[in-house]
Amino acid sequence: MKELELKFTLHVFENANELSKPDAELLEAAKNAMKDSYSPYSGFKVAAAVLLANGKTVTGTNQENAAYPVCLCAEATALSACSALYPDVAINKIAITVKSKSHVVNHPVAPCGVCRQRISEYENRFNNNIEIILMGEEGQVYSVNTVKDILPLTFTKADL
């Protein structure tokens, strides 16, 4: 038996002002989209903004349902909108931000496991790493260069 130590690099920014201009703009687009979140059940708004390889930005927000399992994550609506509008265009970046009705979220919130898998599919589909930028309502910003950093040992088409 041997043990393998897996490492990944997390970029930590003290605030959004430290980001590059394109990353700051994408995060701003996500924050602007937050108003479209339909989250009456959780009171937890999530917004995602996707930067496509053609320079277009597509946003999505969580869309909840009285039948809870039907709820859609913000990443899912944003990525599905990309597929609907620009099916042949690769994705370069996704910025994700959150806001709670009950408290100020002062740390970055990472995508759920299912949404990591969704992002992974787009990386594989277009053979293109997707930078992920995360921020709460205030505080630090995290970024990773690829979803593989936060979803190691990913299940992909290569496993089928």
**By CB under 6 A, residue 112 contacts ligand THU:** yes
The Cβ of residue 71 has, within 10 Å, a number of other Cβ atoms equal to 16
CB 22, min distance to ligand THU, A: 22
Q: Measured between alpha carbons, how far apart are the two ends of the chain, in Å?
A: 27
55 vs 69, beta carbon nearer ligand THU: 69
Q: How far apart are CA 109 and CA 122, in angstroms?
A: 21
The counts of H helices and E strands in the chain are 3, 6
Catalytic residue chosen out of the listed positions 18, 25, 28, 75: 75
Dig out the tokens for 73 from the structure. 């994550």
Map the footprint of ligand THU across residues 23-42, applying CB under 6 A: 39, 42
**By CB under 6 A, residue 44 contacts ligand THU:** yes
The one-letter code for the residue type at 40 is P
- Give me the 120-159 binding string for ligand THU, x by CB under 6 A, dash otherwise: ----------------------------------------
Burial of residue 113 (CB within 10 Å: 0-12, 13-18, 19+) is exposed
- Strands 57-61 vs 44-52: parallel, antiparallel or unpaired: antiparallel
- Give me the 55-74 binding string for ligand THU, x by CB under 6 A, dash otherwise: -------x-x------x-xx
The one-letter code for the residue type at 20 is S
Alpha-carbon 157 to chain mean position: 21
14 is catalytic: no
**By CB under 6 A, residue 115 contacts ligand THU:** yes
Number of residues that bind ligand THU (CB under 6 A): 13
CB 73, min distance to ligand THU, A: 3
What SS3 class is residue 79?
Answer: helix
**By CB under 6 A, residue 46 contacts ligand THU:** yes
Binding site for ligand THU (CB under 6 A): 39, 42, 44, 46, 62, 64, 71, 73-75, 111-112, 115
Residues with active-site annotation: 75
